[in-house]
Amino acid sequence: MAKSYLVGNSGFMASTMLVFGLLMAALDTTSAQIGVCYGMNGDDLPSRPDVIALFNQRNIRRMRLYDPDQEALQALRGSNIEVMLGVPNSKLRDVSASQANADTWVQNNVRNYGDVKFRYIAVGNEVQLSDASAAPFLVPAIQNIRNAIVAAGLGNQIKVSTAIDTGTLAESSPPSRGSFRPDYRQQLLDPIISFLDPPLQYLNLFDAILDAVYAALEKAGGSSLEIVASESGWPTAGNRKRAATTIENARIYNQNLIQHVKGGTPKKPGKPIETYIFAMFDENNKQGEEIEKHWGLFLPNRQPKYPINFD
């Protein structure tokens, strides 16, 4: 298996990466992040059930399997170990040939093991451009496997991608100048990224404005900064657009806002947005247009202007 070896003060470090689409951000990042790769290229290794028992004994909660070894999958049933399952390079031609072939692979190796906690499907492993038996089939194989996972109703549970090695980098020092090799990008990475990370879709102005600010910050060199929505709300009265400035519209907007910000934006899904509703009370001494005075959630007597739940 090809790898890139990085020399450091403590010796050599083998480095391989798994590239994921935007849905990665929706994963539970508070749980344990360490797993162990379970390779089977040895004639003196423990039995599959003994290996699963060892994982559990040592509290190793994640495993990478390079291929769908049926005995290992049987041993994983009910184990609560999260699994990264590989589609071997030797199978890429077959699963890329038709959607039916990919559906069969998913049925035999994923759906038939409903009590195994699959986390990822890694389609191909460190495929090289020079490998004519694998490289031409990688992108359509990823697409077909992903389609099969979605059709099985598992799209939100199991993420599909491929593993690449760091030899695909054209430049890596300093890290801020990191870039992929142009040939690898053009032939493999760009189509994979385009499939895994399609253009974002927006259904409301709140998300669109927030992500526009994030994009502008990134271009200005502020990609590590976080945004807090310091004001957002809906007026209940006022001279401007009277048909929209109603108590019911304000209730719907603010209640939906409370729930919506828990899930993030299309650019940062799963990342709650710290948000401040405008405002606690109507302010009858505010200057400006009449509409500025009617944004309150509560009346001056501390009674709610309309029902609202902050949970």
- Residue 231 buriedness (CB in 10 A; 0-12 / 13-18 / 19+): exposed
Question: CA–CA separation, 83 vs 60, rounded Å?
Answer: 11
Question: CA–CA separation, 157 vs 171, rounded Å?
Answer: 34
Do 62 and 84 meet the contact criterion of CB atoms below 8 Å apart? Answer: yes
Question: CA–CA separation, 184 vs 197, rounded Å?
Answer: 18
Q: Which of 71, 171, 218, 231 is catalytic?
A: 231
Question: CA–CA separation, 18 vs 29, rounded Å?
Answer: 16
> What is the secondary structure of 246-292 as a DSSP string?
-HHHHHHHHHHHHHHGGGB-SSSBT----EEES-SB--TT--SSGGG
Do 85 and 117 meet the contact criterion of CB atoms below 8 Å apart? Answer: no
Q: In the numeric block, which tokens belong to residue 153?
A: 């109703």
Active site annotation includes 283: no
Name the amino acid, one letter, at 204: N
- The residues assigned a catalytic role are 126, 231
